[in-house]
Structure 1
Amino acid sequence: MAAVDAHDKPLQKISDAFKVLASVAQDSQTPDMELASFSRACTHVCPLFGCLGIAFKFAEKDFVAKVQDLAEASNSIKTLQSMIEQDVQNNCVRTAGSHTRNLLRVKRGLDMVRLLFEYMLVTEGSSLRDPASKAYEKALAPYHGWAIRKAVSAGLYTLPTKEQLLVKFNEDEPTARVLMQNYVTACTPVLQYVDNLFTSRDLGTDW
């Protein structure tokens, strides 16, 4: 993934995009969330993984690929619900490369960023090692093999400082804190919405 452009505002973009998704997720009158809107919002999250460096290189590549698949699927599938229903009918929900399986992977990536921001907001100092480690252990590590977990653990020592990360985001700390909290708040109902799509069909989410 290319580095963040010098004039880009990735935190502002994901804050705005997920506020829109959250309003859909929380609106009982809305029949379903559009796949195009969801995948477009997720593309704004992609550069954040790249800003974390080699520690999350695998997560970045995996997340970007899965988001791209959902974006391409949105050309012919209107909603998240209809996408899952189609995979259920084709008996390929858990098949590697299926849209539904990729959606689950994307959801975990979004959750890791949510947790990273949560921990960053309450952690003193400049190091991102502890917030990133906690976020990874909770959101992604349970689904990764030993080799990937070891690579992430080693890569944590190469993470940028909080100040360096904010420079990459083209934000000062006060504004960044507001935008990170906005994402945390907005992402939570979106993740719950996606979870419900799985649990309501007895598909589970631990695979």
Structure 2
Amino acid sequence: MKMAILEGHRSGPHAPHYRTLQAMVAFELRRGRVGLRVLPPDQPPSGSRTLLRLHRALKWLELFLGKLGRSGAEEDPSQLCAEAYQAALARYHGWWVRQAAGLAFLALPSRRELYGLVCAEGEKEARAVLLDAVGTISRVYNITQQLYATRGLLELP
């Protein structure tokens, strides 16, 4: 759903203003489309607000993959995922969503299966792939974080 909102903006009547993150934020702030407190119901969903939600989820992914890449074989991936969720996303969710997330973490595959998903030959290679991905995710996250912080948008609802 969130990606569909962003793709709709990129192909919509104001598409030139959605070519970069910086252009989108500047355009939406100028036009009052961000909804610093609440978004008026007659406006389409804000790209800036939508991306902020994805940005927050990116932090969870960064934390989880980092924990998975640095953890020992005895550490449970479900617990690592729950810890990353608590640090990055839980404060933005209501009680029901937090409970559902906790149940979902219990259904995570084993460490071996997760390593297989990154197409690695063994544990050592999987750890290297995960930590490389974490580095890339971190760079993307930090660029977005800086822009949103500079514009005072980190606490959008």
Normalising by the smaller structure, the TM-score range is: 0.7 to 0.9
Instruction: Quickly say closer, same or farther: Cα 1:84–1:123, change in 2 above 3 A.
Output: same
Whether the aligned pair in 1 keeps the contact of 2:10 and 2:19 (CA below 8 Å) is yes
Deviations 1:16-55 (A, max 9, x none): xxxxxxxxxxxxxxxxxxxxxxxxxxxxxxxxxxxxxxxx
> Is 1:78–2:19 an aligned residue pair?
yes
Aligned length: 143
Instruction: Using the aligned pairs only, state the percent identity.
Output: 26
Contact 1:198 1:205 in 2 (8 A): no
TM alignment of 1:86-165, pairs within 5 A: 86-94=27-35, 95=39, 97-125=45-73, 127-165=76-114
Structure 1 residues not aligned, in runs of 5+? 1-64
Residue 142 of structure 2 corresponds to residue 192 of structure 1: yes
In the alignment, residue 24 of structure 2 is paired with which amino acid? Answer: M
Secondary structure (helix, strand or coil) at the match of 2:104 reads helix
Q: Which has the higher contact order (CA 8 A, sep 6+)?
A: 1
Q: Which has the larger radius of gyration?
A: 2
TM superposition shift of 1:87 = 1.1
Structure 2 residue runs without a partner (length 5+): none
Residue type matched to 1:161 in 2? Answer: S
Cα distance, 1:206 vs. partner?
Answer: 5.7
Q: 1:88 to 1:199 in 2, by over 3 A?
A: same
Quote how far apart the aligned CAs of 1:140 are. Answer: 1.0
Letter in 2 for 1:107: H
SS of equivalent residue, structure 2 residue 153: coil
CA RMSD across the alignment:
2.0
Change (3 A) 1:188 1:167: closer
Distance in 1 of aligned mates of 2:109 and 2:152: 40
What do residues 35-78 of structure 1 show as CA deviations (whole Å, max 9, x unaligned)? Answer: xxxxxxxxxxxxxxxxxxxxxxxxxxxxxx22333234334222
1:170: how far off?
A: 3.0
Runs of 4+ in 1 over 6 A off after TM superposition: none
> Judging changes above 3 Å, is the alpha-carbon distance between structure 1 residues 97 and 149 closer, same or farther for their aligned structure 2 residues?
same
Q: Deviations over 1:58-106 (max 9, x none)?
A: xxxxxxx223332343342221111111111221213382100011011
Please report the TM-score for the alignment, with normalisation by the length of structure 1. Answer: 0.62
